[in-house]
């Protein structure tokens, strides 16, 4: 075969190949199929894959109803994958975009839990506690009879206990560093903010000590007696009784 014939044969093969590619484009998955694949991945706990599929549903804009469902599914997948910062943002966005959606209560509930699960130690940033309290309180105002209400109340009580614990932590720091007026102010404010919360016996004990060390024996005596009357079984009550001997 001549060189020219070989060149023509090669060119024909390339053109044929390009034509075949052009005539057989890669099929694009429908939004419905991406949604089903996302659900399958979610059920298999392959949350990263699920999120990727649900995002494709959003990007398709094929159906407002399907897009809305995908938005909530993305938030759920992030939550179950313990990506709580991302989940909180996704639930918040869902509520802003769909305030009248039937799943709005659920989104607010999960928003509160997303903040709750970000709470760490007492000596760390307390913003997650504050955000959790805000979301959980809002939920109880808007949906007091919801099936989630009992759990929300329990989580909220725990958050308030953590808030009081932090106030005690700061108050005790002031006490240990000799800043008695600051300790008294902080601890008295805590008593007013968190009535009925656990760890108030500790608040009263630190407050009594702050009064005693500041030289206000009358207030120290009154505070220690209140501690003993309200929380007789508390170990702080026994310690207060010993201190009362010096007042």
The DSSP string of 22-58 is: HHSPPPPPPHHHHHHHHHHHHHTT-HHHHHHHHHHHH
Tell me the C-alpha distance between 224 and 246, whole Å: 12
Enter the pTM of the model: 0.84
Alpha-carbon gap, residue 205 to 244, rounded angstroms: 11
In order along its 247 residues, the chain shows pLDDT tens digits of: 444 444 344 444 444 444 444 444 545 678 899 999 999 999 999 999 999 999 999 998 888 999 999 999 999 999 999 999 999 999 999 999 999 999 999 999 999 999 999 999 998 999 999 999 999 999 999 999 999 999 999 999 999 999 999 999 999 999 999 999 999 999 999 999 999 888 999 999 999 999 999 999 999 999 999 999 999 999 999 999 888 876 6
pLDDT score of 60: 86
Chain region(s) in the chain for CATH 1.25.40.10: 29-147, 163-247
Q: Which of 143, 155, 159 is nearest to 106 (CA)?
A: 143
CB-side exposure of 134: number of CA atoms within 13 Å? 11
**At how many degrees (to 10) do helices 64-80 and 104-116 cross?**
20
Q: How far is CA 167 from CA 110, 197, 205, 239, in A?
A: 27, 12, 13, 20
CA distances from 33 to 62, 77, 145 (A): 12, 18, 37
29-147: CATH architecture: Alpha Horseshoe (1.25)
The separation between CA 8 and the C-alpha centre of its own chain, rounded to angstroms, equals 68
CA distance 126 to 98: 29
CATH of domain 163-247: 1.25.40.10
DSSP-derived letter for residue 144 is: T
> Rounded to whole angstroms, how far apart are CA atoms 138 and 216?
41
Give the CA-trace dihedral at 183, 170, 203, 206, to 10 degrees.
-50
Q: Rounded to 10 degrees, what is the CA torsion of 84, 87, 88, 91? A: -160
Number of helices and strands in the chain (H, E): 12, 0
Q: Closest Cα to residue 116, out of 99, 134, 103?
A: 134
CB count within 10 Å of CB 148 equals 19
What pLDDT, on a 0 to 100 scale, did the predictor assign at position 165? Answer: 96
- Rg from Cα positions in the chain: 31
């Amino acid at each position: 075969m001549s060189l020219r014939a070989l060149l023509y044969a090669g060119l024909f093969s390339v053109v044929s190949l390009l034509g075949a590619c052009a005539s057989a484009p890669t099929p694009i998955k429908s939004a419905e199929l991406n949604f089903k694949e996302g659900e399958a991945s979610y059920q298999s706990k392959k949350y990263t894959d699920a999120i990727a599929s649900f995002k494709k549903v959003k990007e398709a804009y094929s159906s407002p109803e399907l897009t809305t469902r995908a938005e909530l599914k993305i938030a759920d997948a992030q939550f179950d994958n313990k990506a709580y910062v991302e989940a909180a943002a996704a639930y918040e966005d869902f509520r802003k975009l769909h305030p009248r959606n039937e799943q709005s209560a659920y989104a607010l509930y999960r928003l509160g839990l997303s903040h709750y699960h970000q709470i760490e130690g007492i000596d760390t940033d307390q913003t997650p506690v504050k955000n959790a309290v805000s979301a959980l309180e809002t939920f109880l105002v808007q949906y007091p009879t919801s099936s989630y209400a009992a759990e929300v109340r329990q989580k909220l009580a725990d958050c308030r206990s953590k808030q009081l614990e932090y106030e005690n932590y700061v108050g005790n720091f002031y006490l240990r560093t000799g800043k008695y007026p600051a300790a008294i102010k902080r601890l008295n404010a805590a008593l007013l903010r968190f009535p009925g919360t656990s760890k108030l016996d500790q608040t009263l004990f630190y407050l009594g000590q702050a009064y005693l060390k500041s030289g206000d024996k009358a207030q120290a005596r009154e505070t220690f007696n209140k501690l003993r009357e309200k929380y007789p079984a508390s170990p702080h009550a026994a310690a207060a009784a010993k201190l009362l001997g010096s007042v």
